[in-house]
């Protein structure tokens, strides 16, 4: 059983406290291992997630077994990372932006919250567009025609699909976390049912041709250690955005044991199953169509069946909306609320997120996707790496797993997390040094070989410098008393 911790904070300063940011008591939590499993399942099962897994098997040059090993290892590493960020939120019931106050200061926490919010809002708009392509695929199958771009590169059907997905996601968010949980619990298992059925169908139709293509995948001998590490790094980078704010979800879990079980089933186990199915289906496409297809939409497009298109469209729609809610909608809603709790609730933050992201998705085809936006997003992701290291190192080493909840919501000068006017300059300095390295991996070719591991290295550097500075010039106060 989870030891009952006193989570009572009856009030806080209006600039730091509202009902959405307040600690969530254990009695109000309803999530268990199954809900956490479905958080990760939906994160994995997006259109991009399928294409990524399939592509790694086809292009890495590694034997298929080594690709599996790399994917499972990445799942174990991510599981360890989120266990670290999830534990304090299970214990204290606080979301990520409040957790960040312990390390960065009650005012300084606005910085990591804002950076994470910007990354999430951008991807929310992009994923909304991609989810709408699944709906458009269904509408085209029913009404016929492909059409040409009529406004911002989108046809009338494309716009209908985009508006529907945008409205659907907001409506689901407004129904609250219980409805979101129900949607995730439905979408996650359904995707696996559909993928298993598709894999069995391909097995039956492709016959011996499937065995031949699978043999090709498992016959790879190239790549070596660097290719193996590249696959691991790529998969870790895929989850990087969720890792830092995982507390936004773990605060709803009843016990830490259930959280860890859900993380185990949802990461290394679910990731291995999904990757296997993606590999199986991809090999089947080579056997059936004579070419390797890694994009689910292209696979469906090769089969002239309205029923299959209907099933695929609903599956892709559910999976992509699922990851959007998990990774890109709820986090910025909390992050924006943290900027001005007296004026912005999580509900209001959700409206702001949806409004800004709507234009990002609408301009994706004709503008944003054409200007090399990847470097911009990679840069923001590189900024998150040192923040993760600082937050985790501060909680486990500096604070010794003990937080003073009242001080997380207080602007009093003698508060435990007031530091220098609400900002912890040591943490900011540690971030600055580590961020130089992380950002250099995006823009300096000499660091390009580090690949996805730049995120982990940036986190380690940020955490190490933060601990050294806090110990060298620690405030006179003792660590916060246990709650």
For residue 126, is pLDDT > 90?
no
Is residue 447 situated within a structural domain?
Answer: no
Is residue 322 situated within a structural domain?
Answer: yes
pLDDT score recorded for residue 141? 76
Helix axes 224-244, 47-59, angle to 10 degrees: 170
For residue 207, is pLDDT > 70?
yes
At 401, the pLDDT band (50, 70, 90 cuts) reads very high
Point out the least confidently predicted range of 12-21, 130-139, 441-450. 441-450
Assess contact for 138 and 450: CB atoms under 8 A. no
In the numeric block, which tokens belong to residue 410?
């207080």
Q: Domain limits at 184?
A: 30-377
Place of tokens 């890495």: 60
| Beta-carbon count within 10 A of 403 CB | 26
For residue 135, is pLDDT > 80?
yes
Q: Please, is 246 exposed, middle or buried when counting C-beta atoms within 10 Å of its C-beta (0-12, 13-18, 19+)?
A: buried
In the numeric block, which tokens belong to residue 473?
């010039």
How many whole angstroms separate alpha carbon 120 and alpha carbon 332? 6
Residue 218 phi/psi, 5-degree rounding, is -90, 5
For residue 31, is pLDDT > 80?
yes
Assess contact for 128 and 437: CB atoms under 8 A. no
pLDDT score recorded for residue 113? 86
pLDDT score recorded for residue 481? 47
For residue 373, is pLDDT > 80?
no
What is the mean predicted confidence (pLDDT) over 156-160? 90
The CATH number covering residue 34 comes to: 1.10.4160.10
Point out the least confidently predicted range of 83-92, 203-212, 410-419. 203-212
For residue 376, is pLDDT > 70?
no
| CB neighbour list of residue 145: distance below 8 Å, 6 or more residues apart | none
Number of structural domains the chain divides into: 1
Q: Would you list the DSSP string of 113-134?
A: HHHHHHHHHHHHHHHHHHHHHH
Tens of pLDDT, residue by residue over 61-98, are 778 788 888 999 999 999 999 999 999 999 999 999 99
CA dihedral of residues 23, 428, 378, 164 (deg, nearest 10):
30
Write down the mean pLDDT value for the chain. 83
Is residue 463 situated within a structural domain?
Answer: no
For residue 451, is pLDDT > 60?
no
Assess contact for 24 and 93: CB atoms under 8 A. yes
For residue 32, is pLDDT > 90?
yes
What is the mean predicted confidence (pLDDT) over 327-342? 85
DSSP E strand stretches across 144-198: none
Is residue 269 situated within a structural domain?
Answer: yes
What is the mean predicted confidence (pLDDT) over 120-125? 87
How many whole angstroms separate alpha carbon 67 and alpha carbon 223? 11
Is residue 250 situated within a structural domain?
Answer: yes
pLDDT score recorded for residue 400? 93
pTM of the model: 0.84
Assess contact for 28 and 185: CB atoms under 8 A. no
Is residue 93 situated within a structural domain?
Answer: yes
For residue 167, is pLDDT > 90?
yes
Is residue 418 situated within a structural domain?
Answer: no
At 220, the pLDDT band (50, 70, 90 cuts) reads low
pLDDT score recorded for residue 355? 93
For residue 405, is pLDDT > 80?
yes
Top pLDDT among 338 and 84 is at 84
In a 3-state reduction of DSSP, which class is residue 253?
strand
Residue 253 phi/psi, 5-degree rounding, is -85, 145
Q: Please, is 440 exposed, middle or buried when counting C-beta atoms within 10 Å of its C-beta (0-12, 13-18, 19+)?
A: middle
For residue 282, is pLDDT > 90?
no
In a 3-state reduction of DSSP, which class is residue 31?
strand
How many whole angstroms separate alpha carbon 405 and alpha carbon 402? 9
| CB neighbour list of residue 122: distance below 8 Å, 6 or more residues apart | 357, 360, 377, 380
How many whole angstroms separate alpha carbon 156 and alpha carbon 276? 37
Q: What percent of the chain has pLDDT over 70?
A: 87
Top pLDDT among 274 and 298 is at 274
For residue 250, is pLDDT > 90?
yes
Is residue 424 situated within a structural domain?
Answer: no
How many whole angstroms separate alpha carbon 409 and alpha carbon 440? 35
CA dihedral of residues 402, 328, 227, 441 (deg, nearest 10):
-80
């Amino acid at each position: 059983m989870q030891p009952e911790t006193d989570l009572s904070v009856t009030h806080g300063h209006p600039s730091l406290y509202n009902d959405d940011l307040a600690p969530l008591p254990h009695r109000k939590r309803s999530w268990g291992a199954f809900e956490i499993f479905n958080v990760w399942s939906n994160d994995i099962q997006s259109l991009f997630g399928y294409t990524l897994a399939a592509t790694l098997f086809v292009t890495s040059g590694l034997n298929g077994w080594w690709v599996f090993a790399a994917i499972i290892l990445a799942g174990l590493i991510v599981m360890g990372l989120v266990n670290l960020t999830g534990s304090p939120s299970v214990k204290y019931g606080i979301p990520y932006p409040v957790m960040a106050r312990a390390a960065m200061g009650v005012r300084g926490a606005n910085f990591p919250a804002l950076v994470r919010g910007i990354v999430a809002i951008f991807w929310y708009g992009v994923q909304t567009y991609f989810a709408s392509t699944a709906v458009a695929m269904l509408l085209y199958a029913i009404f016929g025609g492909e059409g040409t771009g009529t406004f911002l590169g989108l046809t009338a059907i494309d716009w209908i699909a985009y508006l529907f997905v945008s409205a659907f996601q907001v409506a689901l968010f407004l129904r609250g976390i219980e409805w979101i949980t129900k949607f995730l619990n439905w979408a996650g298992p359904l995707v696996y049912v559909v993928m298993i059925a598709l894999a069995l169908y391909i097995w039956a139709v492709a016959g011996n041709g499937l065995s031949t293509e699978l043999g090709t995948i498992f016959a790879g001998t190239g790549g070596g250690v660097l290719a193996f590490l590249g696959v691991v790094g790529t998969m870790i980078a895929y989850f990087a955005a969720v890792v830092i704010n995982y507390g936004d979800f773990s605060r709803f879990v009843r016990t830490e044991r259930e959280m860890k079980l859900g993380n185990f089933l949802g990461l290394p186990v679910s990731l291995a199953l999904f990757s296997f199915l993606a590999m199986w289906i991809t090999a089947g496409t080579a056997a059936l169509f004579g070419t390797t297809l890694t994009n689910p939409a292209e696979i469906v497009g090769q089969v002239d069946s309205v029923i299959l298109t209907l099933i695929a469209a609903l599956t892709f729609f559910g999976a992509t909306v699922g990851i959007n809610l998990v990774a890109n909608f709820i986090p910025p809603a909390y992050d924006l609320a943290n900027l001005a709790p007296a004026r912005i609730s999580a509900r209001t933050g959700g409206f702001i997120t949806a409004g800004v992201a709507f234009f990002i998705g609408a301009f994706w085809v004709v503008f944003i996707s054409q200007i090399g936006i990847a470097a911009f997003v990679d840069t923001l992701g590189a900024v998150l790496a040192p923040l993760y290291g600082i937050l985790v190192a501060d909680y486990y080493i500096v604070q010794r797993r003990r937080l003073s909840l009242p001080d997380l919501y207080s602007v009093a000068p003698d508060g435990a997390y007031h530091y220098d006017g609400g900002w912890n300059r040591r943490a900011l300095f540690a971030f600055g040094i580590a961020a130089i390295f992380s950002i250099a991996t995006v823009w300096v070719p000499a660091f390009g070989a580090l690949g996805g591991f730049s995120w982990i290295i940036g986190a380690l550097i940020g955490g190490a410098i933060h601990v050294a500075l806090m110990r060298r010039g620690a405030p006179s106060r003792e660590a916060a008393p246990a709650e």
